[in-house]
Each structure stands twice: as structure tokens, then as C-alpha cells.
Chain A
Amino acid sequence: MRRLTGILLCLLLTCGALSGCQDRREDNASSLSQAAKDTVVIAMGPTSEPESGFDPSFGWGAGEHVHEPLIQSTLTVTNPDLTIGYDLATSCISSEDGLTWTVTIREDVRFSDGQPLTAQDVAFTYNTVKASSSVNDFTMLDYAEAKDGATVLFHMKTPFSIWPYTMAIVGILPEHAYDSATYGQNPIGSGRYLLKQWDRGQQVILEANPDYYGDAPKIKQVTILFMEEDAAFLAVKAGQVDLAYTSATYSDQAPQGYNLLAFESVDNRGINLPVTGNPVTSDLAVRRAINIGVDRQEMIDHVLNGYGTPAYSVCDKMPWYNAASQVEYDPQGAASLLEEAGWIMGDDGVRVKDGVRAELTLLYSSEDSVRQALAADLASQLKKLGIACQIEGVGWDTAYDRALSDPLIWGWGAHTPMELYNIYHTMEDTGSAQYSPYANPTVDGYMDAALACADLEQAYQLWQKAQWDGSTGVTQEGDVPWVWLVNVSHLYWAREGLAVAEQKIHPHGHGWSIVNNVDQWSWS
């Protein structure tokens, strides 16, 4: 009897608690929808919260995952087609030798504390980020100098033609109000939004800057909540957010009142194939066979539920992308490449050449289920080619070292051609590329020339030649030191009626990129 009473009490309590939740949710939802004319609530992943605050010199906007800093202005911006446009800058000229950049800025800009933004502040910003930034490479910059109130000179150590791409991610700091210890929590900038409130680990509230020099933001208040993917999905189901990030796992769901938005990205996944140090991938024929023997569309359908695009390079659809990177899926061609190179199919379905079995260990980051699924799918596809793969999850503490001899599933994709350099250019001390053994002096030469080039248009062509110049490069006919698999489309749940402005191709990192142009969103 006593037990029965206990159970009944428990049930009652549970019902009470549940109905309590229900009521509160409805209240929240209705209060949001009433106010939802010029505000927006967005759910992002917990890793999107900037650890060191909103300070560009500690990676805000300019870190691993680049985006527009919103609170600060930048000198340049990247256009929707990833060419360069101007924000603060009015002109931007490189000297003939590429060692001096002269940038003039507009003079009507004020920081949110009322002080004018001058060339002095710009120079201060760049000298500060160079000195303190641990997340971005500023070694090419010698120092910045304000020539007069509206002209800044950047003195470079080495020519760096893609400097405008770096200028597009560095938010300008106020020299008079900068203290590196407190600025991250209380940023003063000249951007479209002001930081109104930041509850660490929970939310950030941005408010439109009334003194903004450009078009006034249509969305007056942006609230960003940091939550895990499943929590974000539940928030969508409960109607608590207007936009929430999500992934292919949830894409077959249909929460009421929301649409699924899919944005193309250059957030690619690919594998490195060590050119030396691995008996299988050091054979060019194997690398070429893998590149054409992988059905990228099948991977997209299997792993990403169709939300992705095939990747053929680290920079698909960018102005510096060389279309020669694209290959057709050709399993027969791949098999005959392997046959010709002497990889003969054994009785157990694994090819053998000179006693070496075609066996690979495919590594992936153990925290990332998408990469795990990609690795599993790749392994089963390569098995059909006669290459046996074992997959293994690794932590980033050991992944970099192990990738020097085994293929690893990587994710890249940035709005700067520098990524090509980081992946394919050799390092001075080792004579080999940084992440996977590879060296090609011709490829190096083109990239060096591209950086030294005074004209950005011309530089794009040199970056393209670094990929394939008609006789050598990193594409199928070249050395294929990396095989690119898919670009992961970035998925979001958006409340019906919210018009998200046209997006640039998203870079790596499923975070702040979406709000690059939140000021132009609207409700209907």
C-alpha cells in the first residue's frame, strides 16, 4: 500500500513538473513572437563563444573561424563573390615592390564612445595584433604607421599580395580606450552593433549602434544563445529561438513553424595522402586512383543526407580556384590505374604490389561524428577498389603527428588563398609541407610569386597555376597530395517569416559566419 502511494505521488509530481514546463514555454514563445519585428534570437554551438571576449587581438573574428567582427569595423570586406570591397577604407594601394601598402580611410567614423576613428587607431590596432595575436599570422607585417589623419602605411617584411584579405577580418580598436585586460568584456568599436550584455556560457546580446556610419541595421537587437546541437533543436521545437544551427542528423525532422535553410560552404573535408613515409600513398598511382575512385555524391547522400557539394580542392568556388581540379567519378579508370602501376588484386580482395599490401589506416577526429561517418564511407568505397582501410578515431593531441604518415580526415576552408599556401607550400626548416609530407618546387614558386605580385587579379591567376599550370600541380594530373571529398553545407532552422539575407559561401566553422550580415535580415 505504501509503495502504491509512493508511485502515485511520484506520478503526480512528474505531471506537475511537466505541465509547469509547458506553460512557461508557451509564455516565452508568445512574448518572443510579439517582439519579433526587429530582434532576432539565434542559437550557436558552445564553441562559438569567444573565449577571450570580443577583442580582435585575441582572435575575435580573426581566429581559426573567420567572420566579420560586427562590433568593430574593418578596413576592407569580402564581397559575396569573395573579391575585396571597402568598409573603412576608401582606397588601398600596394607599392610596386609589394613592401608598402597605402590605405586611406573615411573620416566621418566615430567610435561608440564618440571619439573619431583615425589612421592613428588603425596603426595602433595592427601593431597591437601583430604583437599580441596568438591566433593569426602577422609575421609578414613589419609595422603600421599613420601618415596623417586619414592615411595609413603598412610596411611589410615580405610582399604579401593578399593583405586585403587579412584587413577584412581585423576589427579596428580605439587607441584611447584599449586595455587588453578588459577590452574583451567591454569592447568599444565603430561597427554595426554594440555589445549590450554577455553572460558567459549562456548568451550574448548585441544592440544596433545608433551612430553607425553606414546603413542603419534593420535588426535592432541580436541575441545569441550558446547551446549544444540537441539543446538547440529542442529550443526550436519549443519555439524559443528564431534561428538555430543544426546538422544533417536532424535534417529529416520538421519542427512546426520552421524552415530548414542550407547554405553552400567551402567548409570542406578531405584527406591527406602522405607523399613520403607511407608505402601505399607514396605511390602516385594510388593517390590518383583514390581521387577518381571516390564517389563524392554517394558520400554526400549517405553521410550528409544530401546537404553538401562535392569538393575538388581546398578552395572550391573561390576566385583563386582552378577548375582543372574537378574530376569525374571513374571506378574503372581507378582500377586500371592501379593495375598499370602493378597493384594486383589478391584473393582476399586486397591489392598487392611487390609484397606491399594496399592497406591504409584512416584517421579521424574522435569528437566529430560526421568525420567518423565520412571515414567509414570512404573505407567501404576504397575496399571496392582493392584498398583495405581501417578507421581509427584520434584526439588532436596526436592527430597532427600521425597524419605525417597516415591519411587523416581534415576540415578546411577559408576566405583567403593563404590556405593553399599553408597546405601545399614547403616549410623552410623541413623542406616539406606542414600537415602532410609534400614538396613541389614549381608549386612553391607560383605561390611565392602570387604573394609577391602587386596586383590581386594577377595573383589569383598565380594561385590557380599553383594548383595546375598545364604540366604540374596538385590536381589529378599532378601530384594529388590531398584528396578533397565534400563541402559540408551549413544547415539552420529558421522561423517562418525570417528573411535571412544572401550569404557568402560559408567558410570552415559553423558559427558566426551566419550573422555576417544580420543587419540586413528582416521579418515579413
Chain B
Amino acid sequence: MKKDWNRRKSAAVLFSACAFVLCAVTAAGLLLSDYAMETDFTQKNLSPSLSHLFGTDWMGRDMLARTLTGLSLSIRIGLLTALVSCVLALLLGTAAATLGRRVDACISWCVDLFLGIPHILLVMLLSLAFGKGLAGVVAGVSLSHWPALARVVRAEVFQLRQAPYLLAAEKLGVSRFAVARRHLLPHLLAQFLTGLILQFPHAILHEASITFLGFGLSPEQPAVGIILSESMRYLTTGKWWLALFPGLSLVLVVLLFARMGERLRQMGNPASVHQ
């Protein structure tokens, strides 16, 4: 019995469990999005109870519904962001490493530029440039997370290019595109997937911070950052549940994603196959 149960299997189970919880949160948030906007002034400022597990805010809105909807939005933005930035990183990183010096110089300069600007400032600038609102938040977060991964991919590809089988392929006259597709991409897949998942927590935290700062959505929208910034105003009057539960949930979601990434890396790592 004990023999069958190895670390790879437990990693797979944990991975699926995390994925399931996150999917459930996303779905619940989508279903509750109308309820999260509903105000009921007869139920305002209630501390957590059985009918309102997370309590209610100063307009009588259910905080559980608002938190779930906010997290759901964060997760969806995170997903999009992670996809966009990973694809960008993969393309740019590969291009930099394979298309010659000039392209490399150009892309590396861009990477340095993006990395040189403080991240939160960059997100703010981008979202302002895209006209605030949902579009601004999505664009701001998703267009600012690619440089680090692009750099990793570039280094990886550079290293690969010195591999004997690639040098052989080049000498045999295989086209650059074919080399990239046949040899590089499969090799980069593990990097890519792990990068994708590890991008999530980043993206979610940045989405939360930018809505916290008021650059993103209109204040009646339930985004985690908005919920937290609203709760600040009520902390001095002792309404602790407005900040505590949404904050904890955000941390939890971020941790779940980090765990998922970790497990995925474990499973994808050829060196750990026999553990």
C-alpha cells in the first residue's frame, strides 16, 4: 500500500485539490455577482453570524458574496494575465535568443526598461493609459508581468543552443523556425507551465493593490482591493470583519496558487520522477 503512494502522486492529488477549490471560488463568485451588489440598509454593519458568515458592510451588502465575487474576478484576471504574459514571455524570450544580435539587444532593452520601472507604478501607468476601468486593470496587470519570465526563457534558449543536437540540426540546415518548434518548445514547456502558475499570485496581488489604490474599478464593484480600501474607513469604529475575512481569503487564494505551482514543478521535474 505504502509503495504505491509516492510523492508524485500526493503532489498530483494536492494539485487537483487546489485547482478544485479555486474553480469552486471562481464559479461561486460568478453565481453570486448580482447578490454581491444588492444593498439592504436594514441589515447594515452586522457582525459575522450564521446568515451572514462574513458580516455585512455599511450598505448592508453580504461580505461573503462580495469577497467571493471579488476573488473570482481576481482569479479570472489572474488567469488572463498569466496567459498573456507567459505567451509574450515565451515569444519574446525565444525571439531574443534565436533571431540574432539586434533583435536580442532590442528585446533585452525592453525587458530592462520594464524591470527598471517600479512594478506597481508601471501597472498604474498602463491602466491609466488604457482608460482605467476593467479594461485598464486587465491591460495594466497583464502587460506588466512578462519581462522576468522572458529573461529566464531567453537564458534557457541561449544555453540550449549550445547543445550538440541543436548545433547538429543547424549544420544539417534545419530552418530556425523548425528548430524552435521541434527542439526548443518542448524543452521549454516545463518552464512555461510553472511560470504560468507562479505568475498567478503576482497578478492577483497586483490586481488587488491597484483596485485598492482606486485606479481600477468603480467603487460599487466588488473587487478585493476595493473591499479592503473601504474597510479601512470602518476599522476605527471597530468593524474588524470588513477587513479580516476578505484579507484572509485573498492570502489563502494566493497561497493555494503558490502551492499549485510548487506541485506542478515537482511533477514536471524529470529528476524527481522516482521519488
Enumerate chain A interface residues (CB-CB to B < 8 A).
229-230, 233-234, 249-250, 252-253, 301-303, 366-367, 369, 372-373, 375-377, 379-380, 391-394
**A392 and B58 contact, CB distance less than 8 A:** no
Q: A366-B214, A366-B219, A380-B39 are in contact. Are A230 and B59 (CB under 8 A)?
A: no
Q: A369-B58, A377-B41, A380-B39 are in contact. Are A393 and B220 (CB under 8 A)?
A: yes
Min Cβ gap A398→B in Å is 10
Q: A373-B58, A373-B59, A392-B220 are in contact. Are A234 and B39 (CB under 8 A)?
A: no
**B233 and A377 contact, CB distance less than 8 A:** no
| Residue B47, interface by CB 8 Å | no
| Residue B234, interface by CB 8 Å | yes
| Residue B269, interface by CB 8 Å | no
Q: What separation, in Å, do the CA atoms of A61 and B218 have in the docked complex? A: 33
Q: What separation, in Å, do the CA atoms of A233 and B235 have in the docked complex? A: 11
Q: A249-B58, A303-B41, A377-B41 are in contact. Are A372 and B220 (CB under 8 A)?
A: yes
Interface residues of B, count at CB 8 A: 16
Q: A302-B41, A377-B41 are in contact. Are A229 and B218 (CB under 8 A)?
A: no
**Of B41, B220, B232, B237, the contact of A391 (CB 8 Å cutoff):** B220
**B233 and A394 contact, CB distance less than 8 A:** no
Within B204-226, which residues are at the interface with A (CB < 8 Å)? 214, 218-220
Q: What separation, in Å, do the CA atoms of A387 and B235 have in the docked complex? A: 35
Q: Which residue of A lies closest to B236 (CB)?
A: A230
Min Cβ gap B217→A in Å is 8
Within B232-249, which residues are at the interface with A (CB < 8 Å)? 232-237
Q: Which residue of A lies closest to B45 (CB)?
A: A252
Give chain A residues whose Cβ lies under 8 Å from the Cβ of B44: 302
Q: Which residue of B lies closest to A372 (CB)?
A: B219
Q: Which residue of B lies closest to A253 (CB)?
A: B237
Q: What separation, in Å, do the CA atoms of A250 and B235 have in the docked complex? A: 11
Min Cβ gap B44→A in Å is 8
Residue pairs across A and B with Cβ atoms less than 8 A apart, 30 shown, are: A230-B232, A230-B233, A230-B235, A233-B237, A234-B236, A249-B58, A249-B233, A249-B234, A252-B237, A253-B237, A301-B41, A302-B44, A366-B214, A367-B214, A369-B58, A369-B219, A369-B233, A372-B59, A372-B219, A373-B39, A373-B58, A376-B59, A376-B220, A377-B41, A380-B39, A391-B220, A392-B218, A392-B220, A393-B218, A393-B220
Give chain B residues whose Cβ lies under 8 Å from the Cβ of A373: 39, 58-59
Min Cβ gap B137→A in Å is 14
Give chain B residues whose Cβ lies under 8 Å from the Cβ of A250: 236-237
Min Cβ gap B43→A in Å is 11
Give chain A residues whose Cβ lies under 8 Å from the Cβ of B59: 372-373, 376
Enumerate chain B interface residues (CB-CB to A < 8 A).
39, 41, 44, 58-59, 214, 218-220, 230, 232-237
Q: What separation, in Å, do the CA atoms of A377 and B38 have in the docked complex? A: 10
Min Cβ gap A380→B in Å is 6
Q: What separation, in Å, do the CA atoms of A367 and B233 have in the docked complex? A: 12
Q: Which residue of B lies closest to A379 (CB)?
A: B39
Give chain A residues whose Cβ lies under 8 Å from the Cβ of B218: 366, 392-394
**A369 and B230 contact, CB distance less than 8 A:** yes
Q: Which residue of B lies closest to A301 (CB)?
A: B41
**B220 and A249 contact, CB distance less than 8 A:** no
**B233 and A229 contact, CB distance less than 8 A:** yes
Q: Which residue of B lies closest to A237 (CB)?
A: B236
Give chain B residues whose Cβ lies under 8 Å from the Cβ of A303: 41
Q: What separation, in Å, do the CA atoms of A249 and B214 have in the docked complex? A: 21
Given A376-B39, A380-B39: 20 more A-B contacts, CB < 8 Å? A229-B233, A230-B232, A230-B233, A230-B236, A249-B233, A250-B236, A252-B237, A301-B41, A366-B214, A366-B218, A366-B219, A369-B58, A369-B230, A372-B219, A372-B220, A375-B220, A376-B59, A377-B41, A379-B39, A393-B218
Q: Which residue of B lies closest to A392 (CB)?
A: B218
Give chain A residues whose Cβ lies under 8 Å from the Cβ of B233: 229-230, 249, 369
Q: What separation, in Å, do the CA atoms of A377 and B237 have in the docked complex? A: 23
Q: What separation, in Å, do the CA atoms of A334 and B144 have in the docked complex? A: 52
Min Cβ gap B63→A in Å is 15
Q: Which residue of A lies closest to B39 (CB)?
A: A376
Min Cβ gap A250→B in Å is 6
Min Cβ gap B232→A in Å is 8
Q: What separation, in Å, do the CA atoms of A380 and B216 have in the docked complex? A: 25
Give chain A residues whose Cβ lies under 8 Å from the Cβ of B230: 369
Q: Which residue of B lies closest to A380 (CB)?
A: B39
Q: What separation, in Å, do the CA atoms of A301 and B234 have in the docked complex? A: 19
Give chain A residues whose Cβ lies under 8 Å from the Cβ of B41: 301-303, 377
Q: Which residue of B lies closest to A398 (CB)?
A: B132
